[in-house]
Amino acid sequence: MKEILQKLMNGEISSEEAEKMLKTMQIRELEDFAKIDTGRDVRTGVPEAIFAEGKDDDELVKIVLGFADKGHVIVTRLEKDRYSLIKDELKVLEDQGLELDYNERARIMVVRDHEIEKNGKIGIITAGTSDIPVAEEARIIAEEAGCEVLTSYDVGVAGIHRLFGHIRRMLEKDVKVIIVVAGMEGALPSVVAGLVDVPVVGVPTSVGYGVGEGGFTALYAMLQSCAPGIAVMNIDNGFGAGVFAVTIVKQICKP
């Protein structure tokens, strides 16, 4: 703005020209204004993420290639079969020096052009083995966003004695938040939250049958926990749990 005013005072531009230039500048600032608070992902370190479900293969490839210049992209809910179909078309990224990682259990593909430095710890616990894919999704997101992750899988409440050691180990290693992934009756977060004083994030999974089919029983049980202070994600939303945990850790452990 200074420049414009200077030019005006210098007689380099007319009052009309100055007004127009200021207006144009202003519009650009207006747009910036709306954008200004949206650099969230950059600051938290969570890379651009693409949800593969509901997009066809062509769309998906196009979007991934489009985002590639950001240097760090995640594709979630990408089944192995689909990955096999599109990976050849993505080889061009490797030629550009980008690294491609695919994790089958988590159904995640990562594209990155740099090593991720890790900072601050997150614990992830699952009740059963079938809950692991959701937990792995959370783990990868958290690691790609620069957090260290400790996992204890398959330690449900039906055999509660196995749980104590795992919880203690996590607390000793100073995790800042614990993600608890559980399907079926979703009781595990209640028990964990009764034992620790770090934030507990519950992730219900669609593991179950009969009344438990679809994951609503686990979801509701976590929301209605008698242990206060459990925050809950959508069913099978490992991705969201990872992002949420990162927003906590990043505030404590700024690099």
56-95 binders of its own copies (CB under 8 A): 59, 63
Biggest CA–CA distance in the chain, Å, is 83
**228 in contact with its own copies (CB under 8 A):** yes
Of 12, 160, 169, 173, which lies in the binding site for its own copies, with binding defined by CB under 8 A?
160
Nearer to its own copies, 79 or 96 (CB): 79
**231 in contact with its own copies (CB under 8 A):** yes
Question: For residue 10, what are the contacts with CB-CB under 8 A and spacing of at least 6?
Answer: none
Helix (H, G, I), strand (E, B) or coil at 14: coil
**199 in contact with its own copies (CB under 8 A):** yes
Stretch that binds its own copies, among 81-89, 91-99, 106-114, 183-191 (CB under 8 A): 183-191
**6 in contact with its own copies (CB under 8 A):** yes
Smallest distance, Å, CB 84 to its own copies? 16
What is the 8-class DSSP label of residue 149?
E
Give me the amino acid identity at 190. S
Of 121, 139, 166, 250, which lies in the binding site for its own copies, with binding defined by CB under 8 A?
250
Rounded CA-CA distance 4/43 in Å is: 33
Smallest distance, Å, CB 95 to its own copies? 27
Smallest distance, Å, CB 97 to its own copies? 28
Residues facing 126 on adjacent strands:
181
Question: For residue 95, what are the contacts with CB-CB under 8 A and spacing of at least 6?
Answer: none
Of 40, 91, 169, 173, which lies in the binding site for its own copies, with binding defined by CB under 8 A?
40
The closest alpha carbon to 127, from 217, 246, 245, 243, belongs to 217
**151 in contact with its own copies (CB under 8 A):** no
Are 141 and 74 spatial neighbours (Cβ–Cβ below 8 Å)?
yes
Nearer to its own copies, 23 or 91 (CB): 23
Nearer to its own copies, 24 or 94 (CB): 24
Distances 177 to 117, 190, 250 between C-alpha atoms, Å: 19, 15, 11
Smallest distance, Å, CB 62 to its own copies? 10
Q: How many CB atoms lie within 10 A of CB 142?
A: 29
Question: For residue 71, what are the contacts with CB-CB under 8 A and spacing of at least 6?
Answer: 98, 112, 113, 114
**117 in contact with its own copies (CB under 8 A):** no
Smallest distance, Å, CB 63 to its own copies? 8
Backbone φ and ψ for 168, nearest 5 degrees, come out as -60, -45
Stretch that binds its own copies, among 65-73, 81-89, 109-117, 124-132 (CB under 8 A): 124-132
Of 37, 81, 115, 172, which lies in the binding site for its own copies, with binding defined by CB under 8 A?
37
